[in-house]
Amino acid sequence: MGDHPAKLHIAVFPWLAFGHFSPFFEVSKLIAQKGHKVSFISTPRNIKRLPKVPTDLQHLVELIELPLPHVDKLPENAEATMDIPQHTVPYLKKAFDGLQEPFTKFLETSTPDWVMYDFAHYWLPPICSKLGISTVFFHIFSGCGTCYLTNLLLLKSNEPSFDESPNTIALQPFEANTLSEQGEVPNASGVSDAFRFRETLFGADIFAIRSCREIEGESLKSLENYIKKPVIPVGLLPPSQQFSEDNKDENWRTILNWLDKQEKKSVVYVAFGSETTIRNEDFFEIVMGLELSGIPYFLVLKEQNSSDSVELKDWLENHSNKHGLVWRSWAPQLRILAHKSIGGFLSHSGWSSGIESLLVGCPLIMLPFHNEQGLVATLMENKKVGVRVPRNDHDGKFTRDSVAKAVRSVILDEEGKTYRSQAEEMSMIVGDKELHQKYFDDFLDYLEINRPAIMH
């Protein structure tokens, strides 16, 4: 064995969304734990909103602030997707593209060995190539979703297909139509999301993804075959289940008090993430379906999810809390999912939410709305860890009856035993710390062995 190689300097640069910050920040801490230097790059307001870097890692994690340029139609102080409605996001992308110059100056003075970047950074690979800096496109989405999108957007196939045993992963017709139409259309940023994805993917030296072969082996193999470059799973990055015993937080005390009164595995937890926008009529069908099911529910209602319609406002004002609790601020999702009263999770089928739910063996009730969520739902359905809410194949419409039926099938009906059993079995993979640490260690080994030939 020779000497250990010199420690790396890795710049980490996520897209301006908190669903992206979290996994990129987790990766930064894991890199620093191995003694490597990390420069975590974002805008000033976002840097201030990050969790604190652990004390023992602060000397290795540098937080770099790049001021976001002003763009017309983008509200002042809007620096992340959570700050704005969905239709304004293209203006945020336009402002983000204005970070090219300050980012280039950072690279010229800091000279990292690698840059880990996100889907939006189509202009970044040529800059790094010119400076002799290697690049990692770190994709926080599922392998099945990425494989489908790669086939659809890069290979221009109208019917992408690949096997994730024992079934084929596919979108429902209304999902496929929406994804195909939206992806290729240039938006207010000046380019389409499909263009961003293609350029970031083809420009990267390697492709890293939040996944593991035990769950998505076929997808990862197909993906590497499609893109003809290394595809490296970094593991699922499962969040810690070590919760603070300090129950002084008034919000948590209120939540815990309600959950403790419910029977074991009797409650459905309902949340749709911080960036999923749901039409008012659809959200009203969801809440009516929850009432119709007769199942106790804990519903997290965020401002981004629905712009309260008259019907919804009226329902909320007259809501008697007979069957459930509506929570209108931030909720500690993993802590709630881990509570003994939770028997199912009704969500948008986001990859991160799915990982959290399966980490604690909680079965899924899935109602996907955009991007790769439909593919994740199909994957989870194939793994028998949950069910989709039935919808119209052509327009995606669903009813309160279909919501109620799906909820009851997981929480009450006999078939729910299968979903619970499979979810608990899946938790053995998702919660295997050694497995996911090994994935990440292998990823870091690759970065060390393949560091740029030009030493900075």
| Lowest mean pLDDT across 7-11, 67-71, 203-207, 306-310 | 306-310
How confident is the model at residue 206, as a pLDDT?
Answer: 98
How confident is the model at residue 1, as a pLDDT?
Answer: 44
Q: Which residue type occupies 335?
A: R
How confident is the model at residue 186, as a pLDDT?
Answer: 84
**What CA–CA distance (Å, rounded) separates 346 from 348?**
7
Q: Whole-number mean pLDDT of the chain?
A: 89
Q: Which residue type occupies 318?
A: N
Residue 166 or residue 200, greater confidence: 200
How confident is the model at residue 41, as a pLDDT?
Answer: 99
How confident is the model at residue 247, as a pLDDT?
Answer: 63
What lies within 8 Å, CB to CB, of 303 at 6+ separation is none
**Residue 279 DSSP one-character state:** -
pTM of the predicted model as reported, rounded to 2 decimal places: 0.91
**Bridge partners of residue 344, in order along the sequence:** 268
How confident is the model at residue 311, as a pLDDT?
Answer: 64
The percent of residues above 90 in pLDDT, for the chain, comes to 71
Q: What is the pLDDT of residues 38-61, one digit of tens each?
A: 999 999 999 999 999 999 999 999
**What CA–CA distance (Å, rounded) separates 27 from 73?**
33
**For residues 66 and 103, is the Cβ–Cβ distance under 8 A?**
yes
Average pLDDT over residues 380-385: 95
**Annotation marks residue 36 as catalytic:** no
**What CA–CA distance (Å, rounded) separates 214 from 73?**
45
The band of 158, judged by pLDDT with boundaries at 50, 70 and 90, is very low
Residue 23 or residue 369, greater confidence: 23
The band of 180, judged by pLDDT with boundaries at 50, 70 and 90, is low
| Lowest mean pLDDT across 180-189, 315-324, 339-348 | 315-324
Q: What is the pLDDT of residues 422-446, one digit of tens each?
A: 999 999 999 999 999 999 999 999 9
Q: Which domains does the chain have, with CATH numbers?
A: 9-238+433-449 (3.40.50.2000), 250-430 (3.40.50.2000)
Q: What is the pLDDT of residues 94-145, one digit of tens each?
A: 999 999 999 999 999 999 999 999 999 999 999 999 999 999 999 999 999 8
Find the catalytic residue in 20, 36, 139, 436: 20
Reported as half-sphere exposure (CB side, CA atoms, 13 A), residue 150 has a value of: 25
Find the catalytic residue in 113, 118, 193, 205: 118
**For residues 9 and 112, is the Cβ–Cβ distance under 8 A?**
yes
The percent of residues above 70 in pLDDT, for the chain, comes to 86
**Annotation marks residue 319 as catalytic:** no
Res 411 pLDDT > 50: yes
Q: Which residue type occupies 58?
A: Q
**What CA–CA distance (Å, rounded) separates 430 from 352?**
12
Q: What is the number of H-type helices and E-type strands within the chain?
A: 18, 15
The band of 393, judged by pLDDT with boundaries at 50, 70 and 90, is confident
Neighbours of 453 (CB within 10 A): 7
**For residues 74 and 84, is the Cβ–Cβ distance under 8 A?**
yes
**Residue 218 DSSP one-character state:** H
Which among 18, 20, 62, 59 is positioned nearest to 41, based on CA atoms? 62
